[in-house]
Amino acid sequence: MHEFDGEEDEGAGGKEVLIGRGALGTCVPGALASTAVSHTSPTCRPEADTVCLDVTALSHGPDGVARHEGSVVFVPGVAPGDHVHARLVATHRRFARAEVVSLIPGPAHRTPPCPWVASCGGCPWQQVAYPAQLQAKATNVRETLARVGGVTPRRALPILAAPDEWHYRRRIRLHVDRRGVLGYRQARSHRVVEIDDCVIADATLVAALPLARRLVRSLRTRLATLELLVNGRGTVVMHAVADGPFAEGDAGVLADLLAGATTIAGIALEGRDWRHDAGDVHVVVRPDDRESIPQRPEVFSQVNAEANHALVATVRAFTGPASRVLDLFCGSGNLSLPLARDGHRVLGVDADAAAIDAARAAATANGLQSRFEAIPALRFLRQQGLADADLVLLDPPRAGAAEEVVQLGRLRPRRILYVSCDPATLARDAKVLVGAGYTVDRVQPLDLFPQTPHVEIVLEAVVAID
């Protein structure tokens, strides 16, 4: 998954996905694990603008799901099993939104540890017990594949939990508003919420927040975003994207901050046609316990290093005996290099030249026989086909690989491993592969993003015997 194409992106404040069907046969947002009904009890007395609801599912977005008078209602800050007295705040033809007035917590409800959870859009499932989060993600994957793609895998494997549900993020992206406030975006808003802590960020990054605010206040260059990354050597790299030109005098500001901050290894600033580095801006990514990849901070990497090890192990296990692998959207080699270490002949393809440079350097440093080409995946397939590969691995951005899977359907490799961070686009693309004569064999969901609706998936498609 190429998370920083627009996720997340720090968060889960996005829209629910339109996939189910409502009472009148119209599409409604969210894949529902079960049907919810209106609830009235002595403790909930509905008034003119309030309703009583039973929450029985989590949507693909940040909210819980209930029904009222046949309509789907999305409610933030709840868990399946909660009985909610809620006020309707928006009513649409196909669904409604509500806010909690009061609730009787169900068995899956817990107290969120973050004081900003109600305003920050980063991790809206904190109030949901972790086993219930896993169940909801597994259900959403299964139902989305069936409803959007018409796909039922031969083997639907149980979801793999993250090693730790807190403090797992090795990189966080913060936004800077026009007043210089640094923080996360509020859910469904461009408002920036300033934070002093983050319960899903690595403690090293949290400790760097005061220095990050100092950097924003000190620079004359106007910043749009500031990313903090653990560099793999015990310190932090800052990576900022600016709205305009690099201001004269800011080179001295960066040098002064680095001179007085032993926890910050380097700062990278970039604009539309310029880049300025101060200190050592490289971060080291370790896909497993064998490989290490030094790369620039703007190059994609998975935010959850420990859970990424499980993703790499899953892809290695699915790949099986030694084969010729074409890795599309390979990035800096997160999957390519471990497969090359296993003895596979790997050709990695990615449009990001900086990522390919990192992959090539890491392959050379680790003594691995693998090739990498800086070219968009679709162009490669059209010009070079499968390049003699018998297995194609692809890990596209959240938008999926609509055109690439059409081309793969024509080229017909024996097996395809598709790594995705979006069930809906994966289901869409899997439907195309099935139409081209493939069978979906295995599907493995993995939780790389606890406290959010996001989920990683590995899908194996095998060409049917002619």
Which residues share a beta bridge with 417? 393, 460
Angle 402-411/423-435 helices, nearest 10 degrees? 30
Catalytic one of 44, 52, 330, 421 = 421
Per DSSP, the three-state class of 201 is: strand
312: which 2 tokens? Answer: 């790499």
Are 365 and 290 contacting, i.e. CB atoms less than 8 angstroms apart? no
- Helices and strands per DSSP (H, E), number in the chain: 10, 25
Per DSSP, the three-state class of 373 is: strand
In terms of Cβ atoms closer than 10 Å to its own Cβ (0-12, 13-18, 19+), residue 102 is exposed
Are 240 and 267 contacting, i.e. CB atoms less than 8 angstroms apart? yes
Pairing verdict, β 57-58 and 236-242: unpaired
Q: What phi and psi, each to the nearest 5 degrees, are found at residue 71?
A: -105, 150
Burial 314-341 (b: 16+ CB within 10 A, else e): bbbebbeeebbbbbbbbbbbbbbbbbbb
Q: How far is CA 202 from CA 9, 225, 240, in A?
A: 17, 19, 19
Which residues share a beta bridge with 267? 238, 278
CA nearest 76: which of 148, 155, 13, 170?
Answer: 13
- Confirm whether 120 is a catalytic residue: no
398: which 2 tokens? Answer: 């959240």
What is the C-alpha to C-alpha distance for residues 38 and 298, in angstroms, rounded to an integer?
Answer: 48
What is the C-alpha to C-alpha distance for residues 436 and 54, in angstroms, rounded to an integer?
Answer: 42
Are 390 and 373 contacting, i.e. CB atoms less than 8 angstroms apart? no
Neighbours of 277 (CB within 10 A): 16
Residues acting as catalytic residues: 421
